[in-house]
Amino acid sequence: MRLSNEDEGTDDADSGLATVTAKPKLQRPAMYKVILLNDDYTPMEFVVHVLEVFFGIAREKATQIMLAVHTQGAAVVGIYPRDIAETKSEQVNQYSQENNHPLISTVEMTD
């Protein structure tokens, strides 16, 4: 007596053959710059404080960046994926406003 294909379990689903699924190509997310803009009213020490707190920058480097903002009008303070860059920028702007300072940061896509 011969078994049918169903009885032998030879259809593709039950044959024990592994099928390989193509892995999707992963791309790095687009990166965005957080830029701090100079103004004539925000104290330099407040800018250094913001760089330390929101960007985790050491005091010496934060002081150098603050001076770059002051002398050049703006400076990139970090590069992140879009959501993180926007969140950091919003946090800086809100914190500055809560402390009655006009300091502003913006977000731009990297080149």
Nearest one of 85, 86, 101 to 50, comparing CA atoms = 101
Structure tokens at 74: 């703006």
Dihedral sign for Cα 42, 52, 68, 73, please. negative
Are residues 90 and 82 in contact, defined by beta-carbon separation less than 8 angstroms?
no
Q: What's residue 22's pLDDT? A: 79
Q: Is residue 42 classed as helix, strand or coil in its secondary structure?
A: coil
Q: Which amino acid is at 94?
A: Q
Q: What is the pLDDT along the chain (111 residues), one digit of tens a residue?
A: 555 555 544 455 566 677 777 788 888 899 999 999 999 999 999 999 999 999 999 999 999 999 999 999 999 999 999 999 999 999 999 999 999 999 999 999 998
Structure tokens at 51: 């760089």
pTM for this entry = 0.76
